Amino acid sequence: MRVLITGAAGFLGSHLSDRFLAEGYEVVGMDNLLTGNLQNIEHLFGHDKFTFVKHNVYNYIHVSGDLDAVLHFASPASPIDYLEHPIPTMKVGSIGTMNALGLAKAKGAKFLLASTSEVYGDPQINPQPETYWGHVNPIGPRGVYDEAKRFSEAMTMAYHRYHGVETRIVRIFNTYGPRMRLHDGRVVPNFIYQALTGKPLTVFGDGTRTRSFQFYSDLIDGIYKLLHSDETLPVNIGNPSEITITQFAEAVLKATGSKSEIHYIEPTDDRITDDPKVRRPDNTKAMSILGWEPKVDLETGLKETIDYFKTRI
């Protein structure tokens, strides 16, 4: 069995590469390294079943030989990244998705799209089931990411319905763990870096926004099960344990033993514009179809993540 993983040098793509190699697959990893890092996959160089190709997926994709699956994980995923690279974010979600789907069609391969809970926007219902259509500002600064993923889902379903491509869509909720970039702007690396260096933990707004954090290994397991299921419609994969950003900051302080304070600030840029006030997955579908549910608690996941970041500071 042979798979292509786009975005393979990223946080999730690198862990996916590890999982599929461990399952005996041959893996072709593809990344243009805009936000990916070769350090995430350097341990795979020399592996007889791993090949890396530096390539931008919104250019035509060519892979020699057979493929059993294409997993499309290429995309900036942090607000800092997609605010800095808005057009590449849109292009990788549109042209890149079409190229990856076209390759899957040509190879007779399954196609799995990495979508996101951001397709729900700033939701008006909580938790969010897959049947919820979302509440998204298409012309706001975050729209370049939200709408790119919504387009990706629509294109994926079009290829499934019109061309008969066997497709899967995973809607990923906030995920953390080793190999996140230290300064990618997301709350997990931000808080851990600030706590470990004795800086104040900066919370945007009043700290009452909620998130539900899942450890990367739970997500990777859910993705693997989804690929091998028969479900073609989107499936939420996330941890339903919802906490406020203030509570998460307190958990980081406890896990690091840091004496840092929590500072509440109003950002002067677009990072919090249209930022969801709540975020929590309805996992009913994943539990019933995949037999999946998260296993790693926040305390355990934070410890492993903090240990990783200690080696990067």
Q: Which of 58, 82, 120, 145 is catalytic?
A: 145
- DSSP at 288: I
If residue 54 lies in a helix (H) or strand (E), which one and from where to where? strand 50-54
Quick one: which of 48, 57, 58, 56 has its CA closest to 27?
Answer: 48
93, 156, 268 from 39: Cα distances, Å:
24, 31, 33
Q: Is 264 a catalytic residue?
A: no
Backbone angles phi, psi at 239, to 5 degrees: -95, 125
Q: How far apart are CA 22 and CA 26, in angstroms?
A: 10
Neighbours of 228 (CB within 10 A): 12
Q: How far apart are CA 179 and CA 216, in angstroms?
A: 10
Q: Which residues of 163-198 are buried (b: 16+ CB within 10 A; e: fewer)?
A: eebbbbbbbbbbbbbbbbbeebebbbbbbbbbbbee
Quick one: which of 32, 40, 39 has its CA closest to 15?
Answer: 40
Backbone angles phi, psi at 60, to 5 degrees: -55, 135
Length of the chain: 313
Q: Please list the active-site residues.
A: 145
